[in-house]
């Protein structure tokens, strides 16, 4: 997809705030600091549209981005950040669960994992959650620029096995630094529109 326009529409915490339009929507999921917001910026060729940070916990709300006036990306707060109180974690859980299980416009979830390391328990839980609700899932293994190309396939295999990836679920090696995997990721997203 050639992105010609992209803008933040709203930062939402509850369903009444979700944009009330029937456009295909793709939401991000993944550990805190794994690179969800960076993925959005790379896909949209925008440097600072989705706010990123080297510290985990940057994204706190469901941030809706309108792209080419025809689809939405939704940036989602990450999971697995230790320095979060029980109360905050529970509130996060409710916000995410409500969104993922009720949003009819949601076409697929882009699950971002770190290609360098095996997926965490939380990653596996998120993947199984999506399977349970029959939400299509596109796995993006990011930060590929941080390991030598010769090791990519080996790491990809570990990712596939740890998640116990189902037949038909796609995985793409990605880098928000170099743009590796960007065209492939767009082609997959477009196949769900």
Closer by beta carbon to ligand GTP, 159 or else 176:
176
Q: Kindly write out the interface string for residues 14-43 of this chain, putting x where it contacts Mg ion by CB under 5 A and - elsewhere.
A: ----------------------xx------
Please give the angle made by the CA atoms of 159, 61 and 133, to the nearest 5 degrees.
Answer: 50
Are the CB atoms for 126 and 119 separated by under 8 Å?
no
Task: Give yes or no for residue 57 binding ligand GTP (CB under 6 A).
Answer: yes
Question: In this chain, which residue has its C-beta nearest to ligand GTP?
Answer: 78
Strands 106-114 and 137-142: parallel
Are the CB atoms for 74 and 27 separated by under 8 Å?
yes
For residue 133, what are its two tokens? 């609700």
Site for ligand GTP in 161-180 (CB under 6 A): 175-177
Interface stretch with Mg ion, choices 19-27, 55-63, 124-132, 140-148 (CB under 5 A): 55-63
Q: How far apart are CA 5 and CA 70, in angstroms?
A: 10
Site for Mg ion in 59-78 (CB under 5 A): 59
Task: Give yes or no for residue 58 binding Mg ion (CB under 5 A).
Answer: yes
Using the structure block, give the residue that is written with the tokens 């992209």.
6
Task: Give yes or no for residue 159 binding ligand GTP (CB under 6 A).
Answer: no
Binding site for Mg ion (CB under 5 A): 36-37, 58-59
């Amino acid at each position: 997809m050639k992105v010609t326009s992209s803008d933040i529409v709203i930062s939402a915490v509850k369903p009444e705030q979700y944009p009330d339009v029937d456009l295909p929507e793709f939401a991000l999921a993944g550990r805190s600091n794994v690179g969800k917001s960076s993925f959005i910026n790379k896909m949209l060729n925008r440097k600072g549209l989705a706010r990123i940070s080297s510290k985990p916990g940057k994204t706190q709300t469901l941030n809706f981005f309108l792209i080419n006036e025809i689809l939405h990306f939704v940036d989602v707060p990450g999971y697995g950040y230790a320095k979060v109180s029980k109360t905050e974690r529970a509130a996060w859980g409710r916000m995410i669960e409500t969104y993922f299980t009720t949003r009819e416009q949601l076409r697929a979830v882009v699950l971002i994992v770190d290609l360098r390391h095996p997926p965490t328990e939380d990653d596996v839980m998120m993947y199984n959650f999506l399977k349970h609700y029959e939400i299509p899932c596109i796995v993006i293994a990011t930060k590929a620029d941080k390991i030598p190309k010769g090791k990519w396939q080996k790491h990809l295999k570990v990712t596939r096995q740890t998640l116990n990836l189902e037949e038909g679920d796609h995985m793409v090696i990605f880098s928000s630094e170099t743009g590796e995997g960007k065209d492939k990721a767009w082609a997959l997203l477009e196949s769900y529109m």
